[in-house]
Amino acid sequence: METDRLIEGLAADLRPVSPGVVSRRIALTALVGGAVALVVVLSWLGLRQDLAAAVTGPMFWMKAGYAAVLGVAGFWCAERLARPAASPRRAAALGLLALMVMGGLGAATLMAAEPSERAAVWLGHSWRRCPVNILALSLPTLAAALWAMRRLAPTRLRLAGAAAGLFAGGVGATVYGLHCTETSPMFLATWYSLGMALSAGLGALVGPWALRWR
Amino acid sequence: MAFHEVEQRLKALMLRAQAGDGQAWRELLTLLSARLAVYFRRRLGADLADEADDLVQETLLAVHGRRMTYDPSQPFTAWAYAVARYKLIDHWRRRRVRRHVPLDEVAETLWAEADGGAEAAADLDRLLGDLPARQEQLVRGVKIEGLSLAEAGARFGMTEGAAKVSLHRALKALMAKVGARGD
């Protein structure tokens, strides 16, 4: 029977599966996409002028840390959603927790500021550009991650696309920190989050098409 | 065979296959293909049996090509069921048929259905119940659970050859009984 021949062929073709291959394939896309984003920052947006001084302060690292934790949450979600029947719940909870911590911190600093200063603390000087720039910097990782995940086995394509987008958004936002000079947690909690959410939304939008098994 | 025993057995085969054991993979895919055939046929209807067979093969290919996504901390049956369900939905999408496959449908269905209806099981129990206990267990072991002759024989301390002879006698007796009923 045809099916039996198929099974014989597949059994003959079998090679051992290396443990951790799913994580490696997805993580590798962050290296590729992050490198492209870095080139964009270096050649187009430009590094922040005070980078050498900034890296000695806490705010630079808070930005990098926030973006990286959301990127890790997205990675973890994507790693789960690249497998049939695995649950991304705990991974999503990590992302939500990070958002709540930064939101709480941001709200506290906003309350502590003078009422007349609050708009400036919240909007900074780059709130219009920040989310769009983060989205742009996340695109290379998003494309690479979707490509890698399509060869794995996502079964909930919209959700898996959103996870890839959050992952890519985290990578993009981390790299964007090399350009951005904003210093307020409320700015981070709003505009960085929005940039990563745009990336996640784009992933969800294209997921059903981009992740369909070929 | 109870659901958790199916799970245990298939998972053990999967883990061996992940390590590169082609024999285990052949065995697992063979067991899987029978269950998949029932699963797809039931959902596509009798008039689409050809498509069901295509889907079985497509699903086996997907299970093979994407086997690295199986996480040993998951139940194997849930993983395989999710692959089959994806293939079924994809099939409907390609045919532009919209149908609802409940998300919370438990993995057990794939395996429970394949084990046949309750009626058939009762008939089988009645038939096998008339055999000597050892022969009954041999038939169940080899023909239903899918053990090898050697494995089934080992349960009763029999050699593979002795198990083969005994199984042959049991099947002959069963055939005679079914034939007699038919008359």
Going from N- to C-terminal start, the domains of chain A cover 44-210
Give the residue on A whose Cα is nearest the Cα of B76.
A85
Chain A positions in Cβ-Cβ contact with residue B21 (cut-off 8 Å): 14
Q: Do A11 and B26 touch (CB under 8 A)?
A: yes
What is the secondary structure of B49-101 as a DSSP string? HHHHHHHHHHHHHHHHHTGGG--TTS-HHHHHHHHHHHHHHHHHHHTT-----
Q: Are B114 and B34 in contact (CB under 8 A)?
A: yes
How far A6 CA lies from chain B's nearest CA (Å)? Answer: 8
B45: left (phi over 0), alpha (psi -120 to 50) or beta: left
Q: Do B26 and A15 touch (CB under 8 A)?
A: no
Q: Do B29 and A17 touch (CB under 8 A)?
A: no
Q: Are B71 and B18 in contact (CB under 8 A)?
A: no
B76: left (phi over 0), alpha (psi -120 to 50) or beta: alpha
For A189, residues 6+ apart whose C-beta sits below 8 A from its C-beta are: A99, A102, A103, A105, A106, A107
**What is the structure's pLDDT at B125?**
67
Q: Do B68 and A10 touch (CB under 8 A)?
A: no
**Cβ neighbours of B96 (radius 10 Å):** 6
Give the residue on A whose Cα is nearest the Cα of B37.
A3
Q: Are B69 and A152 in contact (CB under 8 A)?
A: yes
How far A135 CA lies from chain B's nearest CA (Å)? Answer: 29
**What is the structure's pLDDT at A162?**
98
DSSP state of A41: I
Q: Are A55 and A185 in contact (CB under 8 A)?
A: no
Burial class (CB in 10 A: 0-12, 13-18, 19+), A73: buried
Residues for chain A: how many in total? 214
Burial class (CB in 10 A: 0-12, 13-18, 19+), A111: exposed
Of B20, B29, B66, the CB nearest to A15: B20
Chain B positions in Cβ-Cβ contact with residue A153 (cut-off 8 Å): 62, 66, 69, 83, 86
Pick the closest to residue A164 from A22, A64, A29 (CA basis). Answer: A29
Q: Do B83 and A84 touch (CB under 8 A)?
A: yes
**What is the structure's pLDDT at A187?**
96
Pick the closest to residue B18 from B79, B86, B85, B82 (CA basis). Answer: B79
Q: pLDDT tens digits, chain B, 183 residues: what are they?
A: 677 889 999 999 999 999 999 999 999 999 999 999 999 998 888 778 888 999 999 999 999 999 999 999 999 999 999 999 999 999 988 887 655 555 544 455 555 554 445 555 556 666 776 777 777 777 777 776 667 777 777 777 778 888 888 888 888 777 777 765 544
**What is the structure's pLDDT at A71?**
98
CA distances from B156 to B29, B129, B150, B161 (A): 28, 18, 10, 13
Please tell me the distance from the alpha carbon of residue A2 to that of residue A6, in angstroms, as a whole number: 6
**What is the structure's pLDDT at B99?**
58
**What is the structure's pLDDT at A151?**
96
**What is the structure's pLDDT at B138?**
77
Chain B positions in Cβ-Cβ contact with residue A84 (cut-off 8 Å): 69, 78-79, 82-83, 86
Q: Does B31 touch chain A (CB under 8 A)?
A: no
Q: Are A135 and A195 in contact (CB under 8 A)?
A: yes
Please tell me the distance from the alpha carbon of residue A30 to that of residue A37, in angstroms, as a whole number: 10
Q: Are B55 and B41 in contact (CB under 8 A)?
A: no
Low-confidence stretches of chain A (pLDDT < 50) are: none
Chain A positions in Cβ-Cβ contact with residue B86 (cut-off 8 Å): 84, 153, 155, 213
Determine the distance from the C-alpha atom of residue B167 to the mean position of all C-alpha atoms in its chain, rounded to a whole number. 20
For A62, residues 6+ apart whose C-beta sits below 8 A from its C-beta are: A185, A188
Pick the closest to residue B31 from B46, B18, B13 (CA basis). Answer: B13
Both structure tokens of B36: 């998949």
Please tell me the distance from the alpha carbon of residue B135 to that of residue B166, in angstroms, as a whole number: 6
Burial class (CB in 10 A: 0-12, 13-18, 19+), B156: middle
Please tell me the distance from the alpha carbon of residue A181 to that of residue A187, in angstroms, as a whole number: 11
ipTM of the complex: 0.88
For residue A134, give the amino acid letter.
I
